[in-house]
Amino acid sequence: MEQQTETKAEQKSARTGIIDCDVHPYPRNTEEIRSYMKQPWRDRYNGGGRGFFGNPVQGDRVDARPPQGGPSGSDPELLRKQLIDEYGHAYAILMPRAFCNLHPDPDFGTAIAAAFNDWLADTWLDKYNADGVFKGSITVNTQDPQAAAREIERWAGHPHFVQVMTDSGARAPFGQRQYYPIYEACEKFGLPFAIHPGTDGMGINVQPSPGFPTHYIEWHTCLSLGFQSHLVSFITEGVFERFPGFKIALVEGGVSWLAPLMWRLDAEYKALRSEVPWLKRKPSEYLRDHVRITSQPLERPDNDNHLLQIFDMMDAEHILMFSSDYPHWDFDSPTRAFPKLPESLRRRIFYENALEFYKL
């Protein structure tokens, strides 16, 4: 908080530490979100009813629970101490957990999204952000793309919202046409679209596996598969040709699958390109201009060289952005999650890729 008295320009040039692309702020309690809702949503919202798995490790870092009460990630001072100050973060990209896209009623989902955006703007982004370290995500309800586009427009001028976000749960892959009002708004306002795990197989959303998995470990391991389907859909549907300025961030969906999936898709494209005549390039060639992927939970093979080889295959130098997932149970420490990297690559992953992607 030492930088509170600096000017904004000074702050901008001064912030050269880590950029952490997945940090979770939580409301202190459900009432905090309800206070931003009109009726009938205020009475209906209870903050819950979204999950069907019990996470056996409770879902958060126990040491991140505020001593005065409230959930982990609900105390900006504690978060600054444990994350921003501890590791010298330049920016933390905040990803609230609204779980709004699983309700049968799209108006309810949209009301939840709006309330979370109001809350995030009023609290974290305005009240606890004198040094500008916190950058926010505009939560949208993908079930009602036109309403989502209006919500993006409502926040587009805000100095600290840097992207739009959704949970990965869906009833249709994200490359399909019903979603295009969202992407049009993202492109218009220069905001990337981030996908974060959540709501898969919950509420009205389908389970992206051959039927429902049994345990949390199975569900959580396979969350990365839904991301792969969404990415293939974005590319093959031609979203990046239709919206040339549109960019996506795949957050917390795994890392090492990227190159193998693109090889497979490129091979299919050789024979099947007649189905997708709108593509002007090989599928994998859309990544550099349009797709970034965040690091946590980073796979760690026993042999560090295997991960470095994977980084080479996937062009991590331009595609990968560091994230910690604070305050969740599977937090990746900036100092311990990665094997030793060449300094130039480390700087791309921990800072420059996100700096450019979010135009910070």
Angle value at C-alpha 39, between 33 and 43, nearest 5 degrees: 65
- The distance of closest approach from Cβ of residue 104 to a copy of itself in the complex, given in angstroms and rounded to an integer, is 16
CA 16 – CA 90 distance, rounded (Å): 5
- 90: helix, strand or coil: strand
Residue ranges with strand state E in the chain: 18-23, 89-94, 134-139, 161-167, 193-196, 248-250, 291-294, 320-321
Pick between residue 225 and residue 360 the one whose CB is nearest to a copy of itself: 225
Pick between residue 110 and residue 166 the one whose CB is nearest to a copy of itself: 166
CA 132 – CA 135 distance, rounded (Å): 7
Pick between residue 169 and residue 192 the one whose CB is nearest to a copy of itself: 169
- The distance of closest approach from Cβ of residue 250 to a copy of itself in the complex, given in angstroms and rounded to an integer, is 13
Residues at the interface with a copy of itself (CB under 8 A): 56-57, 168-176, 200, 205-218, 220-222, 224-226, 228-230, 232-233, 236-237, 254-257, 259-261, 263-265, 267-269, 271-272, 274-276, 297, 299-301, 303, 306, 309-310, 312-313, 329-330
Q: Which residues of 55-73 are buried (b: 16+ CB within 10 A; e: fewer)?
A: eeeebbbeebbbeeebbbb
Pick between residue 12 and residue 281 the one whose CB is nearest to a copy of itself: 281
- The distance of closest approach from Cβ of residue 228 to a copy of itself in the complex, given in angstroms and rounded to an integer, is 6
Pick between residue 8 and residue 177 the one whose CB is nearest to a copy of itself: 177
Q: Are 36 and 115 in contact (CB under 8 A)?
A: yes
Pick between residue 131 and residue 252 the one whose CB is nearest to a copy of itself: 252
Total residues belonging to the chain: 360
- The distance of closest approach from Cβ of residue 8 to a copy of itself in the complex, given in angstroms and rounded to an integer, is 40
- The distance of closest approach from Cβ of residue 291 to a copy of itself in the complex, given in angstroms and rounded to an integer, is 16
Pick between residue 28 and residue 171 the one whose CB is nearest to a copy of itself: 171
- The distance of closest approach from Cβ of residue 62 to a copy of itself in the complex, given in angstroms and rounded to an integer, is 13
Q: Which residues of 255-265 are buried (b: 16+ CB within 10 A; e: fewer)?
A: bbbbbebbeeb
The residues, ordered by sequence, that sit 6+ positions from 112 with a Cβ below 8 Å of its Cβ are 33, 37, 41, 45, 98, 99, 100, 103, 141
CA 337 – CA 321 distance, rounded (Å): 13
CA 305 – CA 325 distance, rounded (Å): 24
- The distance of closest approach from Cβ of residue 4 to a copy of itself in the complex, given in angstroms and rounded to an integer, is 37
Pick between residue 174 and residue 357 the one whose CB is nearest to a copy of itself: 174
- The distance of closest approach from Cβ of residue 306 to a copy of itself in the complex, given in angstroms and rounded to an integer, is 5
CA 163 – CA 146 distance, rounded (Å): 17
